Chains A and B, each alone.
Chain A
Amino acid sequence: MLSVLSILLPALSSLFISLGTRDWARRISLASVFLSMILVVLEGFLLKPTAEMQHVFQSAWMSSAGIMFYFGMDSITWVMLLLSNLAAFVSVLLTEVPKERNPKLVFALILAMQALMNGAFLSIDLFVYYVFWELSLIPAFFLLLLWGNGKIQKTTLKFFLYTLAGSLFMLAAIIWLGISGPTIGFGLEKMMGLTLPHETQVAVFVAFMVAYAVKIPIFPFHTWQAETYSSAPIPLTILLAGVMLKMALYSMVRWVIPIVPDAMLSVGPVFLWLAVFGIVYASVIALKQTEIKKLFAWSSMAHVGLIAAGILTASPDGLKGAVLQMLAHTINALAFLMGVHLLSKWKKAGGLADFGGVRNMDPFFGGLFLLFVFSFISVPFTAGFPGEVMLLSSLFHWNEWSSFLAGLAMILGAVYMLKAYQLLMLGPANPEFTQYGAFQNPMSLSDKLLMLALATLILFLGLFPQRLLEWIDNPIQNILNTN
């Protein structure tokens, strides 16, 4: 029952905001995301690290087609829920909408998106999962359209169509899975019990993977990403990079591996090599970026590609590392984007060369941002490190060359991120940057606290990953042993 609350709370708040007054929109959303966080922590305390689904809720939706509202979580789901609500929390905290741009709608859409993404994580009925998956696209679409910058119509259309294109083939595969087997139904138990012939498995696998490859994104399905991230406002980028692409990675763990394990072994390598190639490709492109958000988009593609590759090895190390790294990547993305958001308060500019000398002006910000960058490039004792090592080792066991290529890309990652840090933070201040009077610190107390909290999380996850790894061990063994 608790799991449904994680969907209902933001959903109802979203409805409430859209019906309420404009002045209360921000306060209600803050209360809602705060309560959601408390709820997640509560769910975590009550959760046992066993393989079965807990906090289960079940109710029929369309019984003739075997579709039911069926929600539940194990410890992997909980990690996803944690990162989703954390991202929503930060996103709402950073959202400031001028009155003329309809704050009510913006906050309502953010919370709706949070509710739907939570729903996609929590569903253990494949069909309801698809409904949430598809529907979470709609608030993202309107947030981007109503609130983005630049050539927004074109970007939005591209983003929407790419993701829809992937999903429709997944829908066909889901229907096919639902009607095969002895009974018509979409529940996780039935799906895990299916034994499909190899050709069917391959078709289903490809249909699912195309949907995920667009969302993650894996090369060559990535072309929507950089544009979308750079035109989206930061709170939306946080949700897209922090949560939405994790939906795809999580779905690979939750659905693809148990349902089509044979195809994973036979066709999986194609996508794995694509992912590895994508890592190198994205890193090389990231080297040439001059805009902060585009740099983030490309580097994010590299990092997430590694997670996807790790999952595709279908090994315990790969999966554990993937779950760990998903959480770490969200925290890193939150921290980095928060830094970018604060920079943009100083100056409305998006280029790396527009800034400079920030560390001298504000050592606190500069210092913490360095930690964020370190975590991004996986320096030991930061959040990015343990997961990355596990992923690389799983790749190494699968094929040495893939591990070599992915590792190479990580070195490139250090190059572009440190270069970015240098341009943004070090050296003398860019005269243009400070010409409008004296430098003023726009960081509020809550900004500082949030940055400190994120820094603590980064260090904590970097220093004590073992606890989390033990916690997710049972469900992962269960997923790998189904067939």
Chain B
Amino acid sequence: MNTFIILSSSGIIAMLVGSHQRKQWGLPVVLAACFLAILSITLPWLGDYSAVLHNMLSFDKLSTSFSLVMVFLTIGILILSHYYYNPGVEHLSDIYALFMFSLAGGILLVSFQNFVMLFLGAEILSIPLYILAASHRRHLSSNEAGLKYYLMGSFATCFMLLGITLIYGASGTFDLNELRLFLTNGGMQSSLFMTGITLVFGTLLFKLSAVPFHFWAPDVYQGAPTVLTAFVSTVVKVAVAGAMIKLAAAISFEGIPASANVVSQIAFSQTTWFWLLVLASAASMLFGSIVALQQNDLKRFLAYTGIFNAGFILLPVLSNQPNVLSSLLYYMAGYGVAAILCFTLYAELKKLTGIDTMSGLQGLLHKHKLAGITMIVCLLSFTGIPPLAGFWGKFGILSLSMQSHLIPLVLVAILSSLIGAYNYVRIVTSIATPDEQNATKLTFHPFFIGWLALGTLLLIAMGCFPEAFIDLF
């Protein structure tokens, strides 16, 4: 709860400093708030808020570890934004404020214990994003992205609301614990409940940009400011995955005494929404990696690999194993670090050269060694080459899914990883091949180089000492 308060008040402060013509203070304020938030998550003596607001929110293990990853990734994105935005950009501190609000919404989303909070979290997370997507006011594509995201997003939210209402109609409660009670007494048979829960999951799939709710993703990713793209593809996905896991765990009887476990497994995998999620997962993985083959624009490419990733994140949601949290979080952290590094480099390269297609990466290794190495390490981590963060992430998730006997889904995941590997390695070859037309060396600011080196080392360290990082979560 402290985290939530800190983050939202820092957002308000950032707005205030902006309105008093001190917008250069915006970034330090929100960064400081993020560090404070990390402290408040990791130091439990600041106050035990395991359940607040009449049990509407609960800050349990899931919530704190997901929040930790989200705040860490946001810090990365804020540093990226420092390179991305010129100091002269209008409403700069408001932009930071919106990021904070969205992050606070994400924290609500992973802490919900009541469907009202799920809805509030999803809205607080999304509304700032609609504004941010359109924050390049003079760019047509940014406006398009904002409008598209807003229209589709609010449409999807309606369905979530409808789903919550149907669940309430069936069970008479918004509370997860009471819902569980209802389900153990035969509520699983209720078709009203099933429709409702499927609608709620559908909306969450939309936020995750999984097939068949993915159509907004490429345009929004491409049109929106890069900072927002990075945010949507990392922090938002962590938040939504957290909410999905919490929801799936709640309605699949986890936490019931061991004697009932056999029943729960059967009930879990025989529900309609389970199979819908399996389909969505398989379709996202295949669609994302296959369509990415055709992309030439770097951000669009990352959007499609993001769709693949949405499908991959669904695997742990479906596998319903006890240690699912640490594996998923490790994966998301590894993916997030690599993605943010990619976006940072992309933004800086675009600033320097003005090229935003893949061809801008040609010969990067020879133009600037460290930048090239960073990009290659990120791409290899996406590919899942050991021992990088991406490899252990995939390993953890695949082994969980195998323990849950989701073998066909694992095979689809491997097949699409392979198609994905083609995408990534193709870029690696072009980075390592000298650029004949334009071989001018690039120079970056020393801090920027240090930042790249730090991220690369983090990716390698996460791979070499996976246990140390997994234990964090």
Contacts and interface: CB of A to CB of B under 8 A. Distances in A.
A408 interface: no
Question: Which size class do A's interface residues fall under?
Answer: 20 to 34
A62 B468 CA distance: 9
A175 B467 contact: no
Interface stretch (B200-208, B251-259, B293-301, B426-434): B426-434
A62 B432 contact: no
Given A134-B385, A172-B414, A161 B402 contact: no
A168 B386 CA distance: 12
B261 interface: no
A457 interface: no
A164 B380 CA distance: 12
Nearest to B468: A62
- Residues of B in contact with A, size category: 20 to 34
B422 interface: yes
B430 A153 contact: yes
Nearest to A131: B386
A178 B467 contact: no
Interface in B418-473: 418, 421-422, 425-426, 429-430, 432-433, 466-467, 470
Contacts of A172: 398, 402, 410-411, 414
A171 B391 CA distance: 11
A64 B467 contact: yes
Interface stretch (A23-31, A87-95, A138-146, A348-356): A138-146
A169 interface: yes
B153 interface: no
B395 interface: yes
B380 A179 contact: no
B399 interface: yes
A16 interface: no
Nearest to B467: A62
A28 B402 CA distance: 46
A160 interface: yes
Contact of A176 (B386, B402, B426, B430): B402
Contacts of B470: 62, 64
Nearest to B394: A171
Contact of A157 (B411, B418, B426): B426
A401 interface: no
B399 A175 contact: yes
B403 A168 contact: no
Contacts of A153: 429-430, 433
Contact of B395 (A138, A142, A175, A176): A175
Contacts of B386: 130-131, 134-135
Interface in A46-77: 61-65
B376 to A, nearest CB: 9
A115 to B, nearest CB: 14
Contacts of B426: 157
A168 B385 contact: no
A97 to B, nearest CB: 16
A165 interface: yes
A225 interface: no
A153 B362 CA distance: 12
B417 interface: yes
Nearest to A160: B425
A157 B427 CA distance: 10
B411 to A, nearest CB: 7
A156 interface: yes
Given A153-B433, A161-B422, A172-B398, 19 more contacts: A61-B467, A62-B392, A130-B386, A134-B386, A135-B385, A138-B380, A152-B433, A153-B429, A160-B425, A161-B418, A164-B418, A164-B425, A168-B417, A169-B414, A171-B395, A171-B398, A175-B402, A176-B402, A179-B403
9 contacts: A62-B466, A63-B467, A65-B395, A145-B429, A157-B429, A168-B417, A171-B414, A175-B399, A179-B399
* 6 interchain residue pairs of minimum CB distance: A131-B386, A175-B399, A62-B467, A168-B414, A153-B429, A145-B432
Interface of A: 61-65, 130-131, 134-135, 137-138, 141-142, 145-146, 152-153, 156-157, 160-161, 164-165, 168-169, 171-172, 175-176, 178-179
